[in-house]
Amino acid sequence: MANLMEQQKAARLNSSLRHEPDGRGHFGGRYGGRFVAETLVPLILELETAYAQAKADPAFQRELDYYLKDYVGRPSPLWLARRMTEKLGGAKIYLKREELNHTGSHKLNNVMGQILLARRMGRTRIVAETGAGQHGVATATVCALFGLKCVVYMGATDVERQKPNVFRMRLLGAEVVPVTAGAGTLKDAMNEAMRDWVANVADTYMLIGTVAGPAPYPAMVRDFQSVIGTEVKAQMQEAEGRLPDVVVAAIGGGSNAMGIFHPFLDDQSVRLIGVEAAGHGLDSGKTAASIERGRPGVLHGNRTYLLQSADGQIEEAHSISAGLDYPGVGPEHAWLNDIGRAEYVGATDEEALEAFQFCTELEGIIPALESAHAVAHAMKLAPTLPTDSLMVINLSGRGDKDIFTVAEHLGVQL
């Protein structure tokens, strides 16, 4: 494990922070890796080779671009949030409208890339894990599009609090398997999806929805999501003639954040802020803030920051948002935190609920509860910044799926 000072020095000297993990799939010599059972190792190595070939193949990129444009609906707009900006009285706020993608979130960017890869590899059965159901819906959608069998593992608690998405997945022809182990949330769904993959290696592709898991998933999912940041860069150039000053995104596993951060990693003037779900509060013991309240460990194929006990048992995360309710975070975020290139902060359930209403009332955009965490931090930060500064919030998903949860918290019966 490389020493932190050396890494910071290397990061300064290195021409770019935008790079591939090392041969072992490690970021910064420490995070990431391939911590899976032997049965799966040959499969992830095969996947790594297949992805490297696809990435180098212009025909693959052309095919992906076609689906991103005509099926996903890219590029997504960069919206100047005038009323939000006026109300907060500081930085000029733009919203990156990932909620306008087909299926209602950024998740389809990655799923589209991986499904094309799975097809290249000749796989006919897709398994996925899902928390809020956004990744599950995106996966079920492309499986319908290409006529592939789809099995989605979802924690039983999440099945309960995300009913609309469960029904949506079933309409799309997916089998949704509720997982009752543990607290019945994303962590448990991930365990069960990995068990399915181990047992069905011959025909099955595991379609991970975030920048975590064994290599090559973290870097591959990041690559597919980087379209978000690449578009923001061009759109901001067109709108303002310069780079943004601050980029804010919510973090569970961290795919929407990595997607918008990564193209800006070498632009040192751009502050990158990841907002974790603080749940009832960072020090309440009921939180999902893995970076702020966890320590490095190994789970689900990678070494990263984890919420865990002194004895190395993984703890249950807590967040009002099912998509952020995960005790870990992508390994590249762990590295960006350690070298100080990105900042990680928390927003509580209450703050996210307030931000959910704020964004809805002022901009006519109902954000997903996940994205509302990013809005919540922007509400704190924007008023402290000069009016000529530019802030981008990644509005990663739409909130229609969350209206039942929000209604319950507001004491409204639907």
Partner 1 sequence: MSRIAKRFSDLAAEGRGALIPYLEAYDPDRETSLALLRAMPAAGADLIEVGIPFSDPSADGPVIQAAALRGLKAGATLAGVLGMVSAFREGDAHTPVILMGYVNPVESYGYERFCKDAVAAGVDGVVLVDLPPEEADVIEAPAKAAGLDIIRLVAPTTTPERLGYVLSHASGFVYYVSIAGITGTRTASAGDLRAAIPRVRAATSLPVAVGFGVRTPEQAAQAASIADGAVVASVLIETLAGTLDAQGHATDATLPTVLEQIGALATAVRAAGRQAA
**87 vs 99: CA distance, rounded Å:** 22
To the query of whether residue 129 is one of the catalytic residues in this protein, the response is yes
Catalytic residue among 92, 96, 107, 401: 107
Using the minimum distance from each CB to partner 1, give the nearer residue, 90 or 182: 182
Binding partner 1 by CB under 8 A: which of 194, 208, 272, 317? 194
Binders in 294-313 for partner 1, by CB under 8 A: 297-301, 303, 306, 308, 310-313
> Which region, judged by CB under 8 A, interacts with partner 1, from 13-21, 80-88, 110-118, 195-203?
195-203
Tell me whether residue 11 or residue 314 sits nearer to partner 1 (CB atom). Answer: 314
The token duo for 181 is 């182990």
Backbone CA torsion sign across 159, 162, 163, 164 = negative
Q: Which helix (H) or strand (E) holds 222?
A: helix 217-225
Least spacing, CB of residue 3 vs partner 1, in Å: 16
- Residue 197-236 contact track with partner 1, rule CB under 8 A, x = bound: -xx-xx----------------------------------
d(CA 176, CA 238): 43
Nearest CA to 186 out of 219, 215, 161, 218 is that of 161
Decide if residue 40 touches partner 1 (CB under 8 A): yes
8 Å CB contact between 373 and 352? yes
By rule CB under 8 A, what string of x and - marks binding of each residue 152-181 to partner 1?
Answer: -----------------------------x
Please, which residue, 214 or 399, has the CB nearer to partner 1?
A: 214
Among 8, 18, 35, 357, binds partner 1 (CB under 8 A): 35
Q: Which of 141, 191, 225, 405 binds partner 1 (CB under 8 A)?
A: 191
> Six-digit token pair at 137?
């819906």
Of 106, 86, 84, 103, nearest to 95 (Cα)?
A: 84
Among candidate residues 76, 99, 396, 401, the one labeled active-site is: 396
244's tokens: 């943004």
Q: What residues contact 278, with CB distance under 8 A and at least 6 apart?
A: 284, 287, 288, 289, 292, 346, 347, 348, 349, 351
Q: Which of residues 305-364 bind partner 1 (CB under 8 A)?
A: 306, 308, 310-315
**β-strand pairing of 246-251 with 271-279:** parallel
HEC string of 242-295 equals: CCCCEEEEEECCCHHHHHHHHHHCCCCCCEEEEEEEEECCCCCCCCCCHHHHCE
Site string for partner 1, 244-283 (x = CB under 8 A): ----------------------------------------
Catalytic residue positions?
A: 107, 129, 396
Q: Residue numbers of the site for partner 1 (CB under 8 A)?
A: 24, 33-43, 181-182, 187, 190-191, 194-195, 198-199, 201-202, 297-301, 303, 306, 308, 310-315
